[in-house]
Structure 1
Amino acid sequence: MAVPRERLIRLLRSQWVNGTRLHYCFMDGPAPQRDAVRAAFAEWKDLGIGLEFAEVAEPGEAEVRIAFDQSDGSWSYIGRDVLQIQVGEPTMNFGWDLTTEYGRSTALHEIGHTLGMPHEHQNPFAGIVWDEEKVYAYFGGPPNGWSRQQTHHNVLRKIDPSEVEGSTWDPDSVMEYWFPAGLIREPARFQAGLNPPGGLSAADREWVSTFYPPLDTSAPLLEPFASRPLSLAPGEQADFRIEPPASRSYQVATFGTADTVLVVFEDVDGDMRHVASDDDSGEDRNATVTVTLLHGRRYVVRARLYWAGASGQTAVMYW
């Protein structure tokens, strides 16, 4: 049975186009804390994933902006949601020391959110039954100091089943919280507390490698006015090189009954710089961008599929 369009869109909507270079900057914070975050980015990257991470000095150049407000707990927006946050506002915060082993896992956890990973304990298939008032009391105290609304959003709220992949729960995930005794009623084995070992689990590594596999750098050339078919499964991506024959305004678009996110990058000595993008998910139109491309420069267009229509026939072209 085919997976419904809405479910696929909701499952994949927070994922970045593979090959994206995420720029991050620090808005404040002492050197040891910044170094801990840098190390966490490097640990994710060392898995060989297709994403790149680059530190920049100015918030206006960064998709990911990191603060160290000790009164605000530790948190991050999920995946591409960071693009909706105003420049000058943080998209990630660390509210405690990151130089401990627990702090290392915290840094990996929040970066995991930025990569598109939700909280593992909010998996609707986990079967967790909470002592809710104890949960509110615990997270309302230090170091989080969360309101009841924040606690519900980050802990008690179950993710809609249409937004998660599969039916398994990984209590060892870096995206799983540590919980003391007394907060969980069921499963019974966690009544004495849930204590993830820390660091990236095998399932974490598999997840990020599935969504962001190592890139194939030999992307085919996309010629002007030449339609290239996209034979993709949901979540898969197609990459093409563009070498414009003239400097002018071009349109780049997908065709067919499909929901895609389409991104054009300029390749500047291997540094993929975002030029334009469009996401047509859930809309009855095709992803289309209008961009000025310059002769003698190199560009890359990347299209990630959420859902293909009944015909399964989609394509990309520029003209």
Structure 2
Amino acid sequence: MTSTGYEHDDEQTEHCALPPQSIPAGAAGLSGTRLEALIGGHLKWLNGTVLHYYFFDRETDGSTVTLADGSSTFVSWVGDQTQRAAIRAAFQEWKNVGIGLEFAEVTDRAEAEIRIGFMRGDGYWSYLGRDVLDIPFGERTTNFGRRVDTPSGHAAALHELGHVIGMPHEHQSPFAGIVWDEEAVYRWFAGPPNEWSRPKTFHNVIRKLDASEVSGSGWDPDSIMEYPFVQGLILEPEEYRQGLFPPGAISKTDEEYARRWYPGLSPAGPPKLSPFTSVPLGLASGEQADYMIVPEGTRDYTVATFGDSDTVLGLFEVIDGEPRYVRADDDAGSERNSTVTARLVKGRRYIARVRLYSTRGSGETAIMYW
């Protein structure tokens, strides 16, 4: 399905309301490049992760809302098969960019990192990247408040799944140079269909992101992560005073951003890590290295990084060809190193994945298991 973008006269466009993001662990007291790297990467997935998604499907899946007259009604989170098919197509479109993430639909919500609802009247929204891991199994991590089997709905689906892989709003980039008519923005978003409070409008529109939260040093008005804006909200750049209407498709800049964090995986697979052998990583900020572990005996093993660095380390077991999460540790912002201890079984295959936030001191970093 190919999006034809947002209509220029569509003043009823419903916008994405991104929930507040978590604060990186260990961020207090940090400064400079360490803090920037931590803010920019702490919600990104380890490359090669299989993200499992689930569509709410029970009669009891929904929310009770209070109406204007004081009465209440139950609103379902369940979407029909056409809606689900549209989301599957959007996942595939992101996969076709060539990223190293995988997307797999599951029928058990307890197995899903991404849990999708279609609650009418609750808008479009999604938690950002790894923040979904803190949401209880019975709750939505993503919602589509209107149909997504339309051109503008398809654009909204691609946008929300961009948040799922850790992409922020493009118009909030500090490099966009947008000067808002702030009171006009607050008034417009307070009206239908959004009906946002001033804090929600500030969080999703006017607030500028830190430079560390965005990729590169430019602004892409054609990004799928860019909102459409009607006439009268933007004062500068002058060319957008009559409105900003992105095409509603994944742009070349979006593709580059996604592949920077999630480059395609090598068909040969990761190199094998030998026990008690330290392997230098030689990574730049934001880069990742994967290693295969095949235990020679069944016992508790420890996998750890060494050196002056901030890293996140994940351990996965390969089951039926799919890496399934075992355990992870994030040392970012602390003076220790990321360390994972788990019971591994002889002859089974495991993948250790380590992503570097930043280095300090000597800058030398290594990985070893024993």
TM range (shorter): over 0.9
Work out whether 1:5 is the aligned partner of 2:5. Answer: no
Show CA shifts across 1:56-77 (max 9, x none): 1122111111111112110111
Stretch deviating more after TM superposition (64-73 or 161-170): 161-170
Shift of 1:269: 2.4
Whichever residue aligns with residue 144 of structure 2, its letter is F
Question: Which of residues 273, 276, 281 in structure 2 aligns to 1:225?
Answer: 276
Per the normalisation by structure 1, the TM-score is 0.96
Shift of 1:173: 0.2
Distance 1:92 1:132 in 2: 28
Distance 1:66 1:150 in 2: 22
Do the aligned partners of 1:14 and 1:78 also contact (CA within 8 Å) in 2? yes
Residue 117 of structure 1 corresponds to which residue in structure 2? 167
Residue 130 of structure 1 corresponds to which residue in structure 2? 180
Question: Which of residues 355, 359, 362 in structure 2 aligns to 1:308?
Answer: 359
SS of equivalent to 1:44: helix
Residue 202 of structure 1 corresponds to which residue in structure 2? 252
Whichever residue aligns with residue 61 of structure 1, its letter is E
Superposition map of 1:1-319 within 5 A: 4-27=33-56, 28-216=78-266, 217-319=268-370
Distance 1:116 1:36 in 2: 21
Show CA shifts across 1:101-158 (max 9, x none): 1111100000001111100000011111112222222222333232222111111111
Shift of 1:92: 0.9
Show CA shifts across 1:24-68 (max 9, x none): 111221111111111000000012210000011122111111111
Do the aligned partners of 1:23 and 1:61 also contact (CA within 8 Å) in 2? yes
Whichever residue aligns with residue 225 of structure 1, its letter is F
Q: What is the percentage of aligned positions where both structures have the same residue? A: 57
Do the aligned partners of 1:72 and 1:145 also contact (CA within 8 Å) in 2? no
Per the normalisation by structure 2, the TM-score is 0.83
Residue 59 of structure 2 corresponds to which residue in structure 1? none
Whichever residue aligns with residue 155 of structure 1, its letter is V
Show CA shifts across 1:159-188 (max 9, x none): 022322332000000000011111111111
Shift of 1:200: 0.6
SS of equivalent to 2:196: coil
SS of equivalent to 1:290: strand
Distance 2:130 2:269 in 1: 26
Stretch deviating more after TM superposition (134-143 or 32-41): 134-143
Do the aligned partners of 1:95 and 1:144 also contact (CA within 8 Å) in 2? no
Distance 1:99 1:113 in 2: 19
Distance 1:276 1:137 in 2: 47
Shift of 1:79: 1.1
Shift of 1:211: 1.2
Aligned residues: 317
Whichever residue aligns with residue 310 of structure 2, its letter is D
Whichever residue aligns with residue 310 of structure 1, its letter is G
Distance 2:108 2:118 in 1: 16
Whichever residue aligns with residue 257 of structure 1, its letter is D
SS of equivalent to 1:306: strand
What are structure 1's unaligned runs of at least 5 residues?
A: none
Distance 2:138 2:250 in 1: 30
Whichever residue aligns with residue 245 of structure 1, its letter is E
Stretch deviating more after TM superposition (289-298 or 134-143): 134-143
Do the aligned partners of 1:49 and 1:212 also contact (CA within 8 Å) in 2? yes
Do the aligned partners of 1:257 and 1:312 also contact (CA within 8 Å) in 2? yes
Distance 2:289 2:310 in 1: 14
Distance 1:21 1:101 in 2: 28
Do the aligned partners of 1:256 and 1:315 also contact (CA within 8 Å) in 2? yes
Shift of 1:97: 1.3
Do the aligned partners of 2:215 and 2:257 also contact (CA within 8 Å) in 1? no
Stretch deviating more after TM superposition (140-149 or 296-305): 140-149
